[in-house]
C-alpha cells in the first residue's frame, strides 16, 4: 500500500494545479475566517467551522477521489495494479491515502487558525472524531460516484449532485440547528456530522448525546461502500 501511496503522492506533486489548490485552500479559507470574524459580530463559530470543513472535504477530497479513480481506470493503471499481488482494498487505500492526509492537514490548519482568531473549540477530541467520520463518509461516497464516472472530465458532472447536496445540508444544519425537522436533517448526508462539529466547537451538549450523531454518518459510509462494491469498475467500459 505504501508503495502505491508513494507513487500517487509523486503524481500529485507533479500536478501544478493540485499543488496550487493545496496551498490556496487553507490560505483562502483562513483569510475568510478573519474577514467574517471582524465584520460579523456574534457569528456562530461552530457553524462557520462546520461549513468550511465540509467545503474542504467535499471540494478537495471527494472530487479528487472521483477524478483520481476515473483517471487511473481510463489509463488502465487500475487494471495493471490489479494484476499484481496487491488486493483491492490495498490498491484503493494506497491511491487515496495521500489526498486523505492532505485534506486532514488542510482542515487542521484552518481550524487552528479559527481557534487562534476566535477561541478554541470546547471539545477537541469530539471535533477530531467528527472530522474523521466526515472524511470516511466522503471517501465512501467518492468510491460510489467513481463507479458511474467514465472519465476525469465526466467527474465534473457526476460529482455535482452529492457535492451540492452535502454542502447545502451542512450549511442548513449548521446555521439553523436541528430543533425542527430533527430526524430529516440528521439522516441526510452531512447533517449529523455538521451538528456534531457545531456541538464540539460550541459545547453545552453532553458528549454521549453528541457521539450518537456519529451513527448516521457511519451509516452513510456503509451505504456508500455497499454501492461501490456493486458498481465500481476496474476497467473502462467497452
DSSP string, 160-202: HHHHHHHHHHHHHHHHH-SSSSHHHHHHSTTHHHHHHHHHHHH
The answer to whether 62 touches 218, Cβ cutoff 8 Å, is no
Q: How confident is the model at residue 161 (pLDDT cuts 50, 70, 90)?
A: very high
Is residue 238 situated within a structural domain? no
DSSP code of residue 59: I
Average pLDDT, the chain: 84
Position 236 in a domain: no
Task: Look at the chain and report how many structural domains it folds into.
Answer: 1
Distance set, CA 112 to CA 76, 105, 180 (Å): 40, 10, 31
Range of the domain at 174: 2-231
Q: Which three cell numbers stand for residue 153?
A: 472530465
Burial 147-181 (b: 16+ CB within 10 A, else e): bebeebeebeebbeebbeebbebbbbbbbeebeee
* Separation CA 90–CA 44 (nearest Å): 41
Please indicate, yes or no, if residue 73 is contained in any of the structural domains. Answer: yes
pLDDT in tens, 51-103: 888 988 988 889 889 988 988 888 888 888 888 877 888 888 888 998 899 88
Higher-confidence residue: 162 or 40?
Answer: 162
Note the pLDDT tens digit of each residue in 184-199.
999 999 999 999 999 9
Compute the distance between CA of residue 46 and CA of residue 33 in angstroms, rounded to an integer: 12
Question: Is 182 part of a structural domain of the chain?
Answer: yes
Which percentage of the chain shows pLDDT scores above 70? 89
Assigned domain for 237 exists: no
Q: Which residues contact 139 (CB under 8 A, 6 or more apart)?
A: 61, 62, 65, 96, 100
Q: For 197, what's the count of Cα atoms within 13 Å in the CB-facing half-sphere?
A: 29
Cβ atoms of residues 191 and 185 within 8 Å: yes
- Give residue 209's pLDDT: 79
3 state DSSP class of 11? helix
Report yes or no on 193 lying in a domain. yes
Which residues 6+ apart lie within 8 Å of 134 measured at CB?
53, 54, 57, 190, 193, 197, 217
The span from the CA of 41 to the CA of 118, in Å, is: 11
Which cell is 13 given? 506533486
- The per-residue DSSP string of 67-90 comes to HHHHHHHHTTHHHHHHTSS--HHH
Amino acid at each position: 500500500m505504501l508503495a502505491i501511496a508513494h507513487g500517487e503522492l509523486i503524481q500529485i506533486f507533479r500536478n501544478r494545479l493540485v499543488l496550487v489548490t493545496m496551498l490556496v485552500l487553507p490560505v483562502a479559507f483562513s483569510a475568510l475566517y478573519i474577514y467574517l470574524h471582524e465584520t460579523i459580530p456574534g457569528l456562530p463559530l461552530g457553524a462557520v467551522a462546520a461549513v468550511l470543513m465540509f467545503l474542504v472535504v467535499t471540494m478537495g477530497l471527494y472530487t479528487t477521489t472521483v477524478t483520481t479513480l476515473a483517471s487511473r481506470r481510463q489509463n488502465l493503471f487500475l487494471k495493471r495494479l490489479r494484476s499484481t499481488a496487491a488486493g483491492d482494498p490495498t490498491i484503493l487505500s494506497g491511491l487515496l491515502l495521500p489526498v486523505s492526509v492532505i485534506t486532514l492537514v488542510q482542515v487542521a490548519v484552518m481550524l487552528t487558525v479559527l481557534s487562534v482568531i476566535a477561541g478554541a473549540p470546547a471539545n477537541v477530541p469530539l471535533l477530531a472524531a467528527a472530522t474523521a467520520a466526515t472524511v470516511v463518509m466522503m471517501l465512501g461516497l467518492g468510491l460510489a460516484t467513481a463507479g458511474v464516472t467514465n472519465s476525469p472530465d465526466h467527474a465534473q458532472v457526476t460529482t455535482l449532485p452529492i457535492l451540492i447536496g452535502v454542502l447545502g445540508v451542512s450549511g442548513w444544519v449548521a446555521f439553523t440547528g436541528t430543533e425542527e425537522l430533527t430526524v430529516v436533517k440528521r439522516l441526510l448526508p452531512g447533517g449529523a456530522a455538521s451538528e456534531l462539529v457545531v456541538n464540539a466547537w460550541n459545547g453545552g451538549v453532553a458528549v454521549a448525546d453528541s457521539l450518537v450523531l456519529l451513527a448516521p454518518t457511519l451509516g452513510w459510509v456503509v451505504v456508500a461502500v455497499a454501492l461501490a462494491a456493486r458498481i465500481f469498475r476496474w476497467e473502462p467500459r467497452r
